[in-house]
């Protein structure tokens, strides 16, 4: 089947599945935004502007704009969720596994902006003034995870692993933080790491 322009069209069954997937994804993002708003998180940065990139970590605008250094961590979330769902549900469709990944990411984004987790983050040298994410930043994080999930589907495993390591090393070098250090400092803060990070 072709479209009016002559380009191939998706079979009706696949088109319907894709449409359902998009609707589920949009609904998940709407729930995420609604919950964060109910929790008191601002829609955009309280500075009143929306930036594509926020590069200053030690800033009240960190985690308030569309992307920042921690966006790379959410791409790696997508890598991890792809391989997790592929391992646990190898026979499931890609859209079902992506829906589960989005659900996990949305759940984390909500938990991350809870008072308990925000307070835990504040024990880190780089997050002492952290007040949670703006809604657009949180939604962008979920989209970054989705990008990572789809990249993991398209790329060979060695390329995905190499890309994850490259992002971790590069971000760790530039801001003295990355996904691994973030998890360590959230679960069991290490004073030596905090001291090193304070030298940024």
Task: Write out pLDDT tens, residues 66-115.
Answer: 999 999 999 999 999 999 999 999 999 999 999 999 999 999 999 999 99
Of the two residues 6 and 111, the one the predictor is more confident about is 111
pLDDT band at 14 (very low <50, low <70, confident <90, very high): confident
Q: Using a pLDDT cut of 70, give the percent of the chain over it.
A: 93
Between 8-17, 18-27, 172-181, the lowest mean confidence (pLDDT) is in 8-17
Per-residue confidence (pLDDT) for residue 3, from 0 to 100? 47
Provide the token pair at 28: 């998940």
Per-residue confidence (pLDDT) for residue 10, from 0 to 100? 56
Per-residue confidence (pLDDT) for residue 182, from 0 to 100? 94
| Burial tier of 117 (Cβ tally within 10 Å: 0-12, 13-18, 19+) | middle
**pLDDT over 70 at 200, yes or no:** no
Domains in the chain: boundaries? 12-197
Q: What is the mean pLDDT of residues 149-165?
A: 98
**pLDDT over 80 at 17, yes or no:** no
**pLDDT over 70 at 8, yes or no:** no
Q: Using a pLDDT cut of 90, give the percent of the chain over it.
A: 78
Between 5-9, 33-37, 49-53, 79-83, the lowest mean confidence (pLDDT) is in 5-9
Where is 68: in which H helix or E strand?
strand 67-68
Residue from 104, 82, 59 nearest 159 by CA: 82
CB-CB contact of 98 with 21 (8 Å): yes
What separation, in Å, do the N-terminal and C-terminal C-alpha atoms of the chain show? Answer: 58
Per-residue confidence (pLDDT) for residue 190, from 0 to 100? 92
**pLDDT over 90 at 6, yes or no:** no
CB-CB contact of 112 with 96 (8 Å): no
CB-CB contact of 96 with 89 (8 Å): yes
**pLDDT over 60 at 181, yes or no:** yes
């Amino acid at each position: 089947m072709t479209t009016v322009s002559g380009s191939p069209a998706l079979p009706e069954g696949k088109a319907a599945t894709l449409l359902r997937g998009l609707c589920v994804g949009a609904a998940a993002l709407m729930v995420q935004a609604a919950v964060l708003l109910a929790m008191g998180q601002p829609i955009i940065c309280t500075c009143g502007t929306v930036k594509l990139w926020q590069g200053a970590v030690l800033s009240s605008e960190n985690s308030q704009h569309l992307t920042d250094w921690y966006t790379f961590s959410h791409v790696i979330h997508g890598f991890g969720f792809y391989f997790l769902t592929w391992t646990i549900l190898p026979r499931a469709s890609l859209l079902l596994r992506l829906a589960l990944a989005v659900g996990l990411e949305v759940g984390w984004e909500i938990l991350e902006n809870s008072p308990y987790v925000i307070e835990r983050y504040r024990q880190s040298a780089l997050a002492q003034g952290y007040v949670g994410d703006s809604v657009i930043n949180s939604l962008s994080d979920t989209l970054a995870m989705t990008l990572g999930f789809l990249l993991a589907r398209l790329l060979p495993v060695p390329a995905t692993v190499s890309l994850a390591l490259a992002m971790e090393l590069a971000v760790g070098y530039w801001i003295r933080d990355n996904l691994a250090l973030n998890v360590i400092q959230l679960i069991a803060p290490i004073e030596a790491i905090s001291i090193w990070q304070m030298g940024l």
